[in-house]
Amino acid sequence: MTETTRHTGADTPPSTTDAASADPRFSALPGRPGKIIAVHLSYASRAEQRGRRPADPSYFFKPSSSVAASGGTIERPAGTELLAFEGEIALVIGTAARNVSLDDAWRHVGWITAANDFGLYDLRANDKGSNVRSKGRDGFTPIGPRLIDARGLDPAAIRLRTWVSGKLVQDDTTAGLIFPLAQFVADLSQHFTLEPGDVILTGTPAGSSVVLPGDVVEVEVDAPDAPGAPSSGRLVTTVVEGSGPGFDASVGSLPSVDDTQRVEAWGSPDLVPPVSAAAPPVAERAEGETKRDDPVLSPALRAKLEKAPVAGLSQQLRKRGLNNVTIDGVRPLHPSSKLVGTARTLRFVPNREDLFTSHGGGYNAQKRAFDAVGEGEVIVIEARGEAGSGTLGDVLAIRAHARGAAGIVTDGGVRDFDAVKAVGIPVYAVGAHPAVLGRKHVPWDTDLTIACGGATVQPGDIVVGDADGVIVIPPAIAEEVVDAALAQEDEDAWIAARVAEGHPVEGLFPMNAEWRARYEAEVARGAASAEEQR
């Protein structure tokens, strides 16, 4: 094992060059760090939130040019949406470490302090985990304001707290780490020399989320049980809106967001504002697509749709030239229940083992869809008519029911069939199958235009189902269609009553001029009588 002389304490950090000392960005550090290494996922609370727990630490690098001092500002770049904070404990290396043991590793940590590992989720997907652009931007690593001497500290009893505009949003200790702090030092030293002044950002607990221009983020690291309860002081950063030119598509990828990035940036589906209160105008929907927060289904319209049979709605849509609006091949688990709601869409692609490895585990698109569905919405699943596995089971059906969803429609199979049926939520599916999702499908993405049972379904489309099947209604004509369907239903009931009286269907179904006159006269008398009784 390699060791060097221990530093002499936080009051006498290693000497630095005059240039580094003069740069205010590094005022809280011994000097400009040669390396900044950040841990991807380290706290149990964060791992539980993300739906995955790593077996070993993993890392990425941040440039020293990203360091900023306390009291500064951070820009949310023009045209972006998802700037997220991550309060973290920073370890500052005091003596060089190369191939050190786990027992010796903490002795090479000179100081600890507070850090904020800001990230721009709009750029994350393009970097595939390297975080070069999403976390390497100038000012994206505030550190300080004071160093705490690591000597005598219990590495398992260090506290981290973060506030956003005065509200405490993160409060955890190193007792909640999946890996002890010393393990990061020992592990990294196997691969390269950790030099004095290098910084290790040790990951963030649950509570990390998106911040908006005007928010003030404060991070503090302390050791409340140590003598004197040493503290880093509060590391303060104010978020401002960027005013620069934005990004040049001719030299690199542009920012992009989707619901996966929104959920991970905000920390929970429940926190994500409708697409999005945090966002600048972003052209992310195809022309004509309906935003899921559009008020397309009022209580009055919903009540009328609950009265109208799917067969009657289908007839009216056909009269308006819409023949391909039925979701074919699906049958109800509860034929006596009516389904009415607006679509939230989920798409599965055919199983490919490498893609299932990257997209099928953890908090995947299927789980995100069921966590995000809102009251009165219908989860519509594109499974390509492949019923050779389940596309949902009882746990997800319970989750949708608890969220107030109106129902679920899938052109694939259902596993735990009896248990799903017992939940009581309206479900339409091709049939039952005992196999899990991964036998045939990879959960891929959500809230986009899909194909389900041969019908195109867009987020926000109105979905209606009964024992006859499921139909999709464009929101723009829903009122007109349901009014016509209910009027036709009244007319058909009157015709059925005449046939029951013994009249032949010839001339009555459909009505000729004579029968039409009789019907309209009777309707008028009924309306006049009702008016008199008011």
pLDDT tens column, 305-345? 999 999 999 999 999 999 999 999 999 999 999 999 999 99
Which of the four pLDDT bands, split at 50, 70 and 90, describes residue 244? low
Q: How far apart are CA 212 and CA 277, in angstroms?
A: 10
Which of the four pLDDT bands, split at 50, 70 and 90, describes residue 248? confident
Q: How far apart are CA 346 and CA 447, in angstroms?
A: 6
End of a domain among 419, 452, 473? Answer: 473
- Mean per-residue pLDDT for 96-123? 95
Q: Does the pLDDT value for residue 372 go beyond 50?
A: yes
> Which residue would you say has higher pLDDT here, 292 or 529?
529
Quick check: 414 and 392 in contact, CB under 8 A?
yes
pLDDT of residue 216: 94
Lowest-pLDDT choice from 16-30, 67-81, 470-484: 16-30
Q: How many C-beta neighbours within 10 Å does residue 121 have?
A: 25
pLDDT by residue (tens digit) across 291-310? 344 457 889 999 999 999 99
Is position 520 within any domain?
no
Name the burial class of residue 509, with classes exposed (0-12), middle (13-18) and buried (19+) by CB atoms within 10 angstroms of its CB.
Answer: middle
Q: Against a cut of 0.85, is the pTM above it?
A: no
Full domain range(s) for residue 57: 18-263
Q: Does the pLDDT value for residue 122 go beyond 70?
A: yes
Is position 405 within any domain?
yes
- For residues 143 and 245, state if they share a domain: yes
pLDDT by residue (tens digit) across 123-161? 887 777 789 999 999 999 999 999 999 998 999 999 999
> Which of 35, 117, 112, 30 has its CA nearest to residue 68?
117
- For residues 259 and 340, state if they share a domain: no
- For residues 201 and 336, state if they share a domain: no
Is position 521 within any domain?
no
Quick check: 267 and 49 in contact, CB under 8 A?
yes
pLDDT of residue 21: 52
pLDDT of residue 468: 95
Quick check: 350 and 470 in contact, CB under 8 A?
no
- For residues 256 and 330, state if they share a domain: no
Transcribe 94-158 into DSSP letters: -S-BBS--HHHHGGGEEEEEEEE--EEGGGTGGGTT--HHHH-STT-EEB-S--EE-TT--TTS-
- For residues 242 and 361, state if they share a domain: no
Is position 299 within any domain?
no
- For residues 368 and 239, state if they share a domain: no
Measured at the CA of 181, the angle between CA 179 and CA 184, to 5 degrees, comes to: 80
- For residues 226 and 370, state if they share a domain: no
Is position 69 within any domain?
yes
- For residues 181 and 329, state if they share a domain: no
Is position 433 within any domain?
yes
> Which of 201, 222, 176, 189 has its CA nearest to residue 103?
189
> Up-side HSE of residue 4: CA atoms within 13 Å toward CB?
15
pLDDT of residue 61: 96
- Mean per-residue pLDDT for 449-466? 95
Is position 2 within any domain?
no
- For residues 240 and 384, state if they share a domain: no
End of a domain among 263, 278, 305? Answer: 263
> Which of 321, 313, 299 has its CA nearest to residue 465?
313
pLDDT by residue (tens digit) across 161-220? 999 999 999 999 999 999 999 999 999 999 999 999 999 999 999 999 999 999 999 999
Quick check: 125 and 8 in contact, CB under 8 A?
no
Q: How many domains does the chain have?
A: 2
pLDDT of residue 98: 97
pLDDT of residue 531: 67
pLDDT of residue 313: 95
% of the chain at pLDDT higher than 90: 67
Q: Does the pLDDT value for residue 374 go beyond 60?
A: yes
CATH number of the structural domain spanning residue 401 = 3.50.30.40
- For residues 73 and 165, state if they share a domain: yes
Is position 7 within any domain?
no
Q: Does the pLDDT value for residue 431 go beyond 70?
A: yes
Transcribe 343-409 into DSSP letters: EEEEEEEE--HHHHHHHTSSS-HHHHHHHHPPTTEEEEEE-TT--SSBS--HHHHHHHHHTT--EEE
Quick check: 240 and 76 in contact, CB under 8 A?
yes
Quick check: 353 and 375 in contact, CB under 8 A?
no
pLDDT of residue 8: 41
- Mean per-residue pLDDT for 80-91? 94
Which of the four pLDDT bands, split at 50, 70 and 90, describes residue 364? confident
Q: Does the pLDDT value for residue 368 go beyond 50?
A: yes
Which CA distances in Å does 440 have to 363, 435, 455? 19, 9, 21
Q: How many C-beta neighbours within 10 Å does residue 479 have?
A: 16
Which of the four pLDDT bands, split at 50, 70 and 90, describes residue 243? confident
Which of the four pLDDT bands, split at 50, 70 and 90, describes residue 422? very high
C-alpha 63: how far from chain center: 28
Which of the four pLDDT bands, split at 50, 70 and 90, describes residue 274? low
Mean confidence (pLDDT) of the chain: 87
- For residues 342 and 454, state if they share a domain: yes
End of a domain among 453, 473, 493? Answer: 473
> Which residue would you say has higher pLDDT here, 259 or 307?
307
Q: How far apart are CA 312 and CA 298, in angstroms?
A: 20
Question: Coil, helix or strand for 66?
Answer: helix
pLDDT of residue 273: 75
pLDDT by residue (tens digit) across 10-50? 444 544 444 445 789 999 999 999 999 999 999 999 988 88
First-to-final CA distance of the chain: 96
pLDDT of residue 144: 95
Q: Does the pLDDT value for residue 81 go beyond 50?
A: yes
> Which residue would you say has higher pLDDT here, 52 or 486?
486
Quick check: 44 and 176 in contact, CB under 8 A?
yes
Lowest-pLDDT choice from 385-399, 402-416, 482-496: 482-496
The residues facing 469 across adjacent strands are 466
Which of the four pLDDT bands, split at 50, 70 and 90, describes residue 354? confident
- For residues 228 and 351, state if they share a domain: no
- Mean per-residue pLDDT for 251-258? 73
CATH number of the structural domain spanning residue 141 = 3.90.850.10
